[in-house]
Structure 1
Amino acid sequence: MHPLFRSLRDEVPSIPVDLDGEPMIAREQDTVASFLLRTVDPDRYRQSVVSAQSHAPLCMMGVCFECLVEIDGQKNQQGCLVRVRSGMRIKRQIPEG
């Protein structure tokens, strides 16, 4: 777990989500971006499909568009603006191959 984001409260309800096909546990107050920053290496948050350069959230308020992920089948969603919810399917935008 990466220490970029951590809860200020000790006990936060957990909810199940799916990340890249794997079951994971998020915290109820997480945004998709904060969940990913706590869970995966920031260099693996997403990659450019053109250059394969790593990208990760920068502003956390919906201005920079560096937090784009696929949520429940919809690509290019701003992860910093979407709260996780039970059963959510999240896919990082990492080119295959």
Structure 2
Amino acid sequence: MNGSTSYYVCILASRRDGTLYIGACSDLGNRLTLHRLGRGSKFAAKYGVARLVDVETYALPSEAIAREKALKEWHRDWKIRLIEWENPDWRDPSHLI
């Protein structure tokens, strides 16, 4: 995007079919590091949520925030279907980031 900032909405999981966390950020690598150190959010730290299982990229922060809020309203089974659509094995692709 010609050097412009990207914004991300990510779904993290504690394990396959485990606890899910949805968040938005502009620095995905840093945010994942914070989660893995137990400093990304109190919820994620409490439930051991650190495996990236889905990520979407947006050009505007308002788009990412709107998507984050929408996903948080989804039923759990819809979130699982979204994850499994692109990532049926719940693999953590963060090594590619």
Calculate the TM-score normalised by the size of structure 2: 0.29
Which has a greater percent of helix? 2
Determine which structure has the larger strand proportion and give its number. Answer: 1
